[in-house]
């Protein structure tokens, strides 16, 4: 058990912490799997795959332009895999992204979000936010604030107590 080396940890508390941790892990895992399934269905309705959506999201967050290698690193993909993904986004009619060689370094390629790509990303975001608003409408204001506060606190604890090292480049 995790707490055997701690002095003064009550056995009943230790057992309850184990039960609570197991229950939380099960809930989080179920939430992640359910979220992936729902996101996949929403994206499919917009003719996107999850990796394509994440590229559009990254470009949106970066002001509509980003080096292809940077996008690949952020999503833990090889440059070759990202190139194929970007080519598929570029082949959609109308194109959701375009590639452009950098003037300063012809070997470097930027991916640029097109107006159609921005529109598709916003359509997905709008649908997702509408679903979240519907769910939140079923909760009281206090319950919504509690949920947000607890999830924020959980995330802060996890990120502080168990930091994750960036994954090394895959190439």
* pLDDT of res. 4: 53
Q: Calculate the alpha carbon distances from 29 to 22, 35, 164 in Å.
A: 11, 10, 18
Report yes or no on whether pTM surpasses 0.85.
no
Residue 17 lies in a domain: no
What single DSSP character describes residue 168? Answer: P
Give the total number of structural domains in the chain. 1
Residue 128 lies in a domain: yes
- Maximum alpha-carbon separation in the chain: 66
Beta bridge partners of residue 82, listed in sequence order: none
**What pLDDT, in 10s, does the model give residues 108-146?**
899 999 999 999 999 999 999 999 999 999 999 999 999
Residue 18 lies in a domain: no
Range of the structural domain that residue 140 is part of: 49-161
Residue 86 lies in a domain: yes
* pLDDT of res. 2: 52
> What count of Cα atoms within 13 Å lies in the side-chain half-sphere of residue 36?
6
CA 34 to chain centre: 14
Residue 61 lies in a domain: yes
Low pLDDT (below 50) residues in the chain: 1, 169-171
Q: Any idea what the CATH number is for the domain that residue 75 is in?
A: 1.10.10.10
* pLDDT of res. 108: 85
Residue 26 lies in a domain: no
* pLDDT of res. 5: 52
* pLDDT of res. 8: 56
């Amino acid at each position: 058990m995790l707490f055997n080396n701690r002095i003064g940890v009550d056995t009943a508390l230790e057992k309850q912490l184990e039960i609570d941790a197991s229950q939380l892990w099960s809930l989080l895992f179920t939430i992640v799997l359910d979220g992936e399934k729902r996101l996949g269905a929403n994206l499919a309705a917009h003719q996107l795959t999850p990796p394509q959506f994440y590229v559009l999201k990254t470009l949106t967050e970066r002001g509509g332009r980003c080096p292809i290698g940077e996008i690949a690193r952020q999503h833990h993909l090889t440059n070759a895999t990202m190139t194929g993904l970007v080519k598929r986004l570029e082949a959609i009619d109308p194109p959701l992204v375009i590639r452009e060689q950098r003037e300063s370094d012809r070997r470097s390629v930027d991916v640029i979000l097109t107006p159609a790509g921005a529109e598709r990303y916003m359509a997905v975001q709008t649908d997702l936010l509408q679903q979240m608003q519907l769910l939140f409408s079923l909760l009281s204001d206090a319950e919504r604030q509690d949920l947000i506060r607890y999830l924020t606190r959980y995330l802060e604890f996890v990120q502080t107590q168990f930091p994750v090292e960036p994954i090394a480049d895959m190439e």
